[in-house]
Amino acid sequence: MSSQLYFDPEHLRRGNFFNLKSEIRTEEGYPYEIEDWIGRGGNATVFSGRQRSTGEECAIKFLMNTGWRNTKRFLREVKLLKSMSGDHITRYHGTGRVTVRHHKGSRDNQLPFVIMELADSNLQDVMREEGPMSYERYAGQFRGLAGALASLHERAVHRDIKPENILVAGERWLLSDYGLCTFVNPDEEDLTPEGQNVGPKFWLSPEAHNRRLGCNDEISAASDVFQMGAIFWYVVTGRQPVGIVTEDDWLGGPEKLFCLLHRSLYHDFEKRPQNGIEFLTDLADALSQ
């Protein structure tokens, strides 16, 4: 069992790590232990762990950069996780704060954490190992992910859908990582600083690309549909749909699914399904045999 927190193994080798000064116990009162490091994002690090009383495995995500903006974004992500459920949404187990001290420091700090379902891998890793998938393999997963997106769009826009954020847990693909979400509720402010690029570098919607160029395009639910449609195309063909794609580029998938994904990739967002609910409805028709 580990008693150290760090961004990644390189930080640990450089001596940049925290020692745990308190047990990991959720607000709900359940104690957990951390085990192996899994990965990191821009502001957080993730370890595998298990509940001490039951031995149930989990993933524990710690916020390492605790500025006010990052902390507020992290807590909103936790709130969103708690409010959602479904077979293709990462399951929430608990949240809390742990006391730590940098091993070269003299003051204690409080780091927020959230405990979630532990996945086996992510879709990007699976695609690198297996390449394009069969209809039998992806059809049910596509329906599940579209349903997860429809559920999310009742509350928020994801803005960061990419293969690495589609987790694989057993036979289920999970929509995960809600740290860049912007909320439908107008009372929830957008925490993205003015001028900051938003979204996954290689899976940006046209609107996100245009914002990088200084345009005032809005990243909306239709932008999420673009990103999800691009990932579905990638799963079926093994290729990323960049540039102008035609039916000649559609390798191995049914024609009705091509029509939907092609429309989901239109540059003009108004011609795409406008949100996950429309996308799910159209996908169910496209996958009907």
CATH class of the domain defined by 4-116: alpha beta
Distance CA 149, CA 145 (A): 6
Residue 117: half-sphere exposure toward Cβ, Cα within 13 Å: 23
Distance CA 181, CA 277 (A): 17
User: Among 87, 135, 95, which Cα is nearest to 115's?
Assistant: 95
Q: Into which CATH architecture does domain 121-286 fall?
A: Orthogonal Bundle (1.10)
SS3 40: strand
pLDDT for 186 beyond 70? no
User: Among 261, 269, 266, which Cα is nearest to 231's?
Assistant: 261
Count the Cβ atoms, other than its own, within 10 Å of residue 208: 21
pLDDT for 158 beyond 80? yes
Over range 234-245, report the average pLDDT: 95
- The 10s digit of each residue's pLDDT in 187-214 is 666 656 555 566 788 999 999 999 888 8
Burial per residue of 143-154, b for 16 or more beta-carbon CB atoms within 10 angstroms, e otherwise: ebbbbbbbbbbe
Domain ranges of the chain: 4-116, 121-286
Name the token pair of 142.
């596509």
Give the max Cα distance, the chain. 65
- The 10s digit of each residue's pLDDT in 67-103 is 888 999 999 999 999 999 999 999 999 999 999 999 8
Asked if the domains at 4-116 and 121-286 fall in one CATH topology, the answer is no
Distance CA 284, CA 65 (A): 41
Q: What integer best gives the mean pLDDT of the chain?
A: 93
Residue 80's φ and ψ, nearest 5 degrees, are -65, -45
Instruction: Output the pTM of the full model.
Output: 0.92
pLDDT of residue 289: 61
